[in-house]
Amino acid sequence: MPTLLLHHPKFLEHLTPDGHPERPDRLRAIDRILEHERFQQLERDLATPANDEQIARCHPTSYIQHIRATAPETGFARLDADTTMSAGTLDAALLGAGAACTAVDEVMTGRVSNAFCASRPPGHHAERSTAMGFCFFNNAAIAARHAQAAHGAERVAIIDFDVHHGNGTQDIFWDDPSVFYGSTHQMPLYPGTGKLTDTGAGNIFNAPLSAGADGAVFQDAMRSRILNSLKDFRPDLVIMSAGFDAHVRDPLAELLLVESDFSWITYHLMEIADQYCHGRVVSVLEGGYDLEGLARSTAAHVMALMDA
C-alpha cells in the first residue's frame, strides 16, 4: 500500500509579516524536493477542511468562533507577538486540521500504509483556548480525537520531535490516559514547558535536551524516556508531530540533528506501529525554518515512511 501525501495550494496563502520564520517558502521547499523522481510513488491528494465538530473535540466552540471572528479580510491580525492571521490563514488552518483527520481516515481504514500532511500553519503550540507559537488549531490533537471518535481507537500516541515543546498538545491531554504524549525538545527554549517531571495522568513523557545535543543524545533520550514507554502503552495509532527545527542548520534553536536522525526516529516509530497497530502511522508537519534543512529532513522522513 502507498504512503499518502496530503497537501493544498491554500497552505501557501497563510501569509506572515516580512522576516517571519513561518513563511510560505517552507512548503515551497518541501514541494520542490517531493517532486523528485524518488517520490513518484507517493499517493497525492488535496486536503479538505475540518468541520467545527472535529475541531471542537480539542478546542471550545467559543475559541473556534474567536479565531473565525479575528480573521482579517486584508492585512494582518495579531494574536500574540509571534502569531498573526492574514486573509488566507483561516482557510489554511482549517485545511491543516482537515488534512490530519483525512490522514487518520485513510490509515485507520487500511487504504494507505501511512500518511504525511505537508501543511501549515503548524499546530502543537495551540492550547485548548489559546493560539500561540505560530499555531491556531492543534492538528495532531484533533487527529487523535478523530481517531477515537470516528474509528474507535482506544489508545492513541503522539510523538513530537519538534525542537520546541508541544505545550498545546500536553495541555489538551494532560489528564487523559487514553492519549500518550512523548516529546523531545530543547530546554530552556520557547515556550518554556516540557519538564521531565511533567507527567500528567502518567501519559506525558518529556525528554528535554540541552543546547548542543547531537543525534546520539537525541536517540538515547528517545529510547530511554519515550520508546520503551510507548511499547508499554500499546497504541492503536501513532501520530508524529514532525518538526524539523532540531536540525543543525535551523536558526531558531541549538540542537545538532541531521537528516539521518529523523530517518532513525521515523523507522523506530514505524516498527512499534507494526508491532502493535498494523503499522498505522500519521505524520503532521510542525516546525523547521531553515529551508534546506527542512527540505532535506522532510525528504528523509518521507522516504522512511515509503519504506513501510
**Catalytic residue IDs:** 125
With a CB cutoff of 8 Å and minimum separation 6, the contacts of 266 are: 240, 283, 300, 301, 304, 305
Task: Tell whether the torsion through CA atoms of 255, 259, 260 and 265 is positive or negative.
Answer: positive
Q: Tell me which residue has cell 465538530.
A: 53
- The letter for the amino acid at 21 is P
Of the candidates 208, 218, 282, the residue with the CA atom closest to the CA atom of residue 247: 218
Q: Please state, in angstroms and rounded to a whole number, the distance separating the CA atoms of residues 101 and 117.
A: 10
* Main-chain dihedrals φ then ψ at residue 193, nearest 5 degrees: -105, 180
SS3 state of residue 33: helix
Strand segments (E) across 124-236: 156-160, 179-186, 204-209
Please give the Cα distance from 9 to 31 (Å, whole number): 10
Number of Cα atoms under 13 Å in the Cβ half of residue 69: 6
In this structure, are strands 77-78 and 84-85 parallel, antiparallel, or unpaired? antiparallel
Cα separations (Å) of 169 from 9, 137, 292?
26, 10, 27
By the 8 A CB rule, do 228 and 220 touch? no
Residues in the chain: 308
